[in-house]
Amino acid sequence: MTAQVLFKNRHPDRIATLAEYRHSGGYEALAKVLADSSRQQVQQVLTDAVLLGRGGAAFPAGVKLSTVAADAPYPRYVVCNADEMEPGTFKDRVLIHADPHQLLEGICLAGFAVDAHEGIIFIRPEYEGAARILEREIALAEKEGLLGQNILGSGFDFDIIVHRSGGRYICGEVTAQLNAIMGRRPNPQQPPPYPTEKGLWDRPTVLQNVETLCCMPHIVRNGADWFKGLARTESGAGTKIFGISGRVRRPGCFELPMGVRLSEIIENHAGGMAEGSRFKACLPGGASTGFLPAEHYDIPMDFESLKQAGNRLGTGAIMVFDHRTCLVGVTLNLMEFFARESCGWCTPCREGLPVIRELLREIEEGRGKPEYVGVLKEMGRHLWNAYCAFAPGAAAPLESLLAHFADEVQEHIERKACPFG
C-alpha cells in the first residue's frame, strides 16, 4: 500500500467525520498559519512544494496565489472549482465524499494566503449529494469555530458558500465559471485582465481545483520537501488521485504517487485489464487529452513525462480502451460531447466541432471517403486557433487518433464499415 494522504480518511461506505479529520491532523495547518504565519509564507511553501493545478492546466498553485497583489482591492474571493465535467473524471466527487473537511480547510488556507474572506464552491448539478454534504459540514465547521467569524480566535474571518451550477462543461473553464457565478452567460473571457486581478465583480479572485485545494493543508503542515518526496519521479511532486475507468477489472479512484507507471496503475490497482482484453490505448487525463498508444504502457504518470510523450496528464482520469474498442467510435463519442457542450461563442468550436463529428460519423458508419482524413487533419489543426482552450482540448483526441491510429481510420474507409462491428 502506498502512502495515503488525501484518502487517509477514506472509508468505502461513509464520509469521514470532522472528529476523524481532526484526529488525523486536520485543521492543524490552519491553526498554525493563523497563529504564526504570513500570507507570503503560505504562498511560498506551496510554490516550493511544486503543487501544480490538478484541474488539468497544471499551473503552479503557489504562483497563482502570489499574483494577487498585496495592495489589491477588497473583497477578494477564492473559488473552488468542483465543476468536474471532464468525461472520465470523478476524483473530486470521491474526494468530497471521502473527507469534506480536507477541502474546506484547503479553501480556508487559500483564503488566508490572499487575504480573502469568502470562498465559493462551484459545483455541478450532478453532484447534488456532494453539495449537500458540503453545506452540512460547513455549518458544522462554523459551529466548531473552524470557519466563519474569528476562526480559532485568530480574528480571521472566512465564509464558504456552495454555488450550484446549472450544468455545462464550459463552466469548468476559469473565466466562464466566474461569469456563471455572476449570473451571466458562462462564456469564457480572454485575459487580460486576469481573474487574480479582476475576477468576480471585478475583484481579485483565485480559482483552484478541489484536489489542488485538498493538497494544501498537508503541504502547510508537513512542508514542501515532504510533499515533493511523495512523488515517484524527480519531475513530479505529491500524490495524484487517478480515476481509472473503461476496460479494466476494477474501475475506481486511487491515490498514488505522482509518477507511478501507467502499467502499475492498471495491473496493481485497477485489477488488470478486463477479461479477455488487451491494452490498446488510453486517454491519460480526461477527454481533452490525446490517445496514449500501447508503446507508452509503462510511462510514468506525471505532468512532465506526459508532456515529453506529446500528451497531457490533464485531470489524471485514465480511460482504458482494449483491442476490441473502436477508437473512431470513441473519438466520435468525444466529438459529440464537445460539440454539444460548446458555449457557442467562437466559430471553430461552435461550427467546427459538429462538422468534425459528422465526418467521423460518416467514417464510423461506413460512408467515409478517403479525402475526409485530410479534411479532419486540417480542421484539427485549425481548432487550436479557437477563442479558449475548449476546442484545442477537443483537438487532442482527434489529432492523436489520426496520428497513432491512421490504419484503423483507413480500414473503416476501405471496408465501408466499422471493423469492430
Partner 1 sequence: MLPENLKKELQDRIAAVDHPRELVVDVLFALQAHYGFVTDEAVEEAAGLLGMTPMEVDEVATFYTFVYRRPVGKYVIHVCDSVICWLEGGRSLQEYLSQKLSIAPGETTADGLFTLLPVCCIGYCDRAPAMLINKKVYGPLTPETIDQLLDELREAH
Partner 2 sequence: MIKLIIDNLRVEVPPGTRVIDAAEQAGIMIPRFCYHPALGAVGACRVCAVQVLEGSCRGIRMSCMIEAEEGMVISTTDEEAVAFRRQVIEWLMANHPHDCPVCDEGGQCLLQDMTVSGGHGRRRLPVKKRTHIDQHLGPLVVHEMNRCIQCYRCVRFYREYAGYTDLGVMGSAGRVYFGRRSDGVLESPFAGNLIDVCPTGVFTDRPSRFKGRYWDFERTPSVCIHCSLGCRVTVNTRYREVVRVEAAHDPQVNGWFICDRGRYGFPYASSPQRPRSARIDGRKSGVDEALDEAARRLSGIAQRHGSGSVALAASGRVCLETLGALTRFGSEKGWRGPFFRAGPRTAEALQSASKNLEEKISISLKDIEKSDFILLVGCDPVNEAPMLALSVRQARRRGAVVALADARSVQLPLDARRLALRPSQLTAALMRFAGKAVADGGAALSDRARGFLQACRDSRVDPAVDEQIDHLGLAARESRRPVVVCGTSAVAPDTPAAAANVARLLAAEGRKAGFFPVLPGANALALGLAGRTADHGAALREALEKGDVRALVVVETNLSELGFSADDPLLENLEALVVCDCLDSAAGRAARVFIPTQTVFEAGGTFVSAEARVREARPAFRGGTPVAQVSGGGHPPRTFSPDIPGADPLPAWQVLAALAREGTRVSADTLRKALPAPLCGAAPGKRLALPASAPDAFQPPEDPATAADGGLEVVVCEHIFGSEPLSRRAACLQELESAPRLGLHPGDAAALQLSAGQRVAVDCGRGVIEGEIEIVNEMARGVLLVPRLRGIDWHAAADGPLVVAVADIRSVKPNGES
Q: What DSSP element (H or E) covers 27? A: none
**Any contact of residue 32 with partner 2 (CB under 8 A)?**
no
Nearer to partner 1 by Cβ, of 202 and 351: the residue is: 202
The piece of 69-77, 277-285, 300-308, 349-357 that touches partner 2 (CB under 8 A) is 349-357
Quick one: what does residue 190 bind among partner 2, partner 1, none, with the CB cut-off 5 to 8 Å set by partner type?
Answer: partner 2
Quick one: what does residue 339 bind among partner 2, partner 1, none, with the CB cut-off 5 to 8 Å set by partner type?
Answer: partner 2
Nearer to partner 2 by Cβ, of 163 and 367: the residue is: 367
Exposure string over 207-219, b if 16+ CB within 10 A, otherwise e? bbbbbbbbbbbbb
Q: Taking the alpha carbons of 182, 51, 147, 77 in that order, is the dihedral positive or negative?
A: negative
Among 190, 275, 276, 407, binds partner 2 (CB under 8 A): 190
**Any contact of residue 340 with partner 2 (CB under 8 A)?**
yes
**Any contact of residue 341 with partner 2 (CB under 8 A)?**
yes
Report in angstroms how near the CB of residue 185 gets to partner 2 at its nearest: 7
CB atoms within 10 A of CB 414: 11
Residue 210 Cα distances to 52, 222, 313, 380, angstroms: 12, 19, 16, 31
Quick one: what does residue 151 bind among partner 2, partner 1, none, with the CB cut-off 5 to 8 Å set by partner type?
Answer: none
Nearer to partner 1 by Cβ, of 313 and 339: the residue is: 339
Report in angstroms how near the CB of residue 294 gets to partner 1 at its nearest: 18
Listed in sequence order, the residues at least 6 apart from 83 whose beta carbon sits closer than 8 Å to its beta carbon are 122, 123, 124, 165, 171, 172, 177
**Any contact of residue 367 with partner 2 (CB under 8 A)?**
yes
Q: What DSSP element (H or E) covers 163? A: strand 159-164
Residue labelled with grid coordinates 484526529: 23
Residue 198 Cα distances to 68, 79, 161, angstroms: 10, 13, 20
The answer to whether 212 and 110 have CB atoms below 8 angstroms apart is: no
Report in angstroms how near the CB of residue 75 gets to partner 2 at its nearest: 21
**Any contact of residue 293 with partner 2 (CB under 8 A)?**
no
Task: Specify which residues 148 forms β-bridges with.
Answer: 158
**What are the residues binding partner 1 (CB under 8 A)?**
84-90, 93, 124-129, 163-169, 180-186, 201, 243, 245-247, 251-253, 283, 287, 317, 319, 321, 325, 329-330, 333-334, 336-337, 340-341, 343
Nearer to partner 2 by Cβ, of 187 and 233: the residue is: 187
Report in angstroms how near the CB of residue 289 gets to partner 2 at its nearest: 22
Cα distance between residue 178 and residue 184, in whole Å: 9
Cα distance between residue 397 and residue 345, in whole Å: 22
The piece of 33-41, 62-70, 131-139, 358-366 that touches partner 2 (CB under 8 A) is 358-366
- CA of residue 356 relative to chain centroid, distance: 25
Quick one: what does residue 367 bind among partner 2, partner 1, none, with the CB cut-off 5 to 8 Å set by partner type?
Answer: partner 2
**Any contact of residue 385 with partner 2 (CB under 8 A)?**
yes
Listed in sequence order, the residues at least 6 apart from 42 whose beta carbon sits closer than 8 Å to its beta carbon are 33, 65, 109, 112, 113, 220
Among 264, 387, 392, 420, binds partner 2 (CB under 8 A): 387
In order, the DSSP letters of 206-256 are: EEEEHHHHHHHHHHHHH-HHHHHHTSSSSS--SEEEEEEEESBSS-EEEEE
**Binding residues for partner 2, per CB under 8 A?**
168, 170, 185, 190, 339-348, 350-352, 354-355, 358-359, 362, 367, 371, 375, 378-379, 382, 385-387
